[in-house]
């Protein structure tokens, strides 16, 4: 960057601060865990790290980008829209990983490279329409789409996602929409269950999906508590929040 305006001063002021040192330390620890898990699994294809910055300020995204982070995740449109709009000079990819209301699709396609929480047809249709308009207006690239799969049989422990039996219909609809690319599947391990069993099940569902859609190879799985299990069962994307950012500030 050539300009030496206020943004540059601000960035330089941030990247030497105590919070940056803390983030750097935590990020290194997580990167070492991922490396160890990749080695233990005998994998040669390291997963992509998405740092989940929800509830943390835009300045933390700026600090993380300076530390080499290329991908961030957010779960609420209002927060993500504001943060991404405030960081036009920070070249990170934004991933939307939270429950999406159809009426937020128009906003999400303005900043998101991927939506990882697609769990019903209405959301597919809303995103298809919104991304087509955005592509006409700005020429944005296609939206990467992950179908979120619910891995728990017990409705009481439900953490979101489509039933495995609904994935085929969702995948068809995504594939038939010109601006949407079917990337693969996303899941959150059920609370209180063995994450290895959950991610093994997810790997099987992914294999079945790839029989029909060979390009849908991505598996977004693994959070702070269970990234090792996710790497073992083939995660291509990890979504790590609290182990890098620290505990989330209380919501007011």
Ligand X SMILES: *Cc1c(COP(=O)(O)O)cnc(C)c1O
104 or 179: whose CB is closer to ligand X?
A: 104
Q: Is the sign of the CA dihedral 130, 132, 135, 141 positive or negative?
A: positive
Q: Which stretch binds ligand X (CB under 6 A): 86-94, 175-183, 189-197, 238-246?
A: 238-246
- Of 239, 201, 206, the closest CA to residue 220 belongs to 239
CA angle 137/138/142 to nearest 5° reads: 105
Nearest-CA neighbor of 118 among 132, 133, 97, 103?
A: 97
Burial of 161 (0-12, 13-18, 19+ CB in 10 A): buried
Q: Which of residues 46-65 bind ligand X (CB under 6 A)?
A: 52, 54
User: Which residue of 15, 24, 217, 242 would you call a contact of ligand X, by CB under 6 A?
Assistant: 242
Residue 75 binds ligand X (CB under 6 A): yes
CB 199 within 8 A of CB 227: no
Given the rule CB under 6 A, which of 25-33, 40-48, 165-173, 239-247 is the region that contacts ligand X? 239-247
Smallest distance from the beta carbon of 50 to ligand X, in angstroms? 8
Question: For ligand X, which is the closer residue by CB, 56 or 179?
Answer: 56
Which of these segments, 6-14, 61-69, 100-108, 217-225, binds ligand X (CB under 6 A)?
A: 217-225
Query: Which residues, numbered 22-41, are part of the site for ligand X (CB under 6 A)?
Result: none
Q: Nearest CA to 1 among 65, 56, 69, 60?
A: 65
The token pair that represents 243 in the structure block: 């182990």
Size of the site for ligand X (CB under 6 A): 14
The stretch near ligand X (CB under 6 A) out of 30-38, 78-86, 107-115, 223-231 is 223-231
Dist CA 183 CA 214 (whole Å): 10
Instruction: Give the nearer residue to ligand X in terms of CB position, either 1 or 250.
Output: 250
- Interacting residue ranges for ligand X, rule: CB under 6 A: 52, 54, 75, 97-98, 188, 223-225, 239-243
């Amino acid at each position: 960057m050539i300009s030496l305006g206020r943004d540059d001063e601000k960035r330089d002021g941030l990247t030497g601060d105590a919070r940056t040192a803390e983030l750097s330390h935590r990020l290194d620890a997580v990167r070492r865990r991922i490396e160890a898990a990749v080695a233990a699994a005998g994998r040669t294809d390291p997963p992509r790290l998405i740092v989940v910055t929800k509830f943390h300020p835009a300045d933390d995204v700026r600090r993380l980008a300076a530390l080499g982070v290329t991908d961030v995740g957010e779960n609420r449109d209002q927060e993500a829209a504001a943060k991404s709009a405030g960081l036009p000079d920070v070249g990170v990819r934004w991933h939307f990983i939270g429950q999406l209301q159809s009426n937020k699709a128009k906003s999400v396609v303005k900043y998101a490279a991927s939506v990882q929480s697609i769990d019903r047809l209405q959301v597919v249709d809303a995103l298809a329409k919104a991304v087509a308009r955005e592509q006409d207006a700005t020429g944005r690239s296609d939206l990467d789409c992950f179908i979120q799969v619910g891995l728990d049989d017990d409705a009481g422990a439900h953490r979101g996602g489509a039933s495995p039996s609904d994935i085929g219909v969702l995948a068809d609809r995504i594939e038939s929409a010109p601006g949407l690319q079917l990337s693969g599947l996303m899941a959150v391990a059920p609370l209180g269950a063995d994450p290895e069993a959950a991610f093994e099940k997810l790997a099987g569902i992914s294999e079945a999906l790839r029989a029909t859609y060979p390009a849908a190879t991505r598996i977004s799985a693994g959070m702070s508590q269970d990234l090792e299990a996710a790497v073992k069962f083939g995660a291509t994307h990890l979504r790590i929040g609290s182990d890098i950012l620290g505990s989330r500030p209380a919501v007011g």
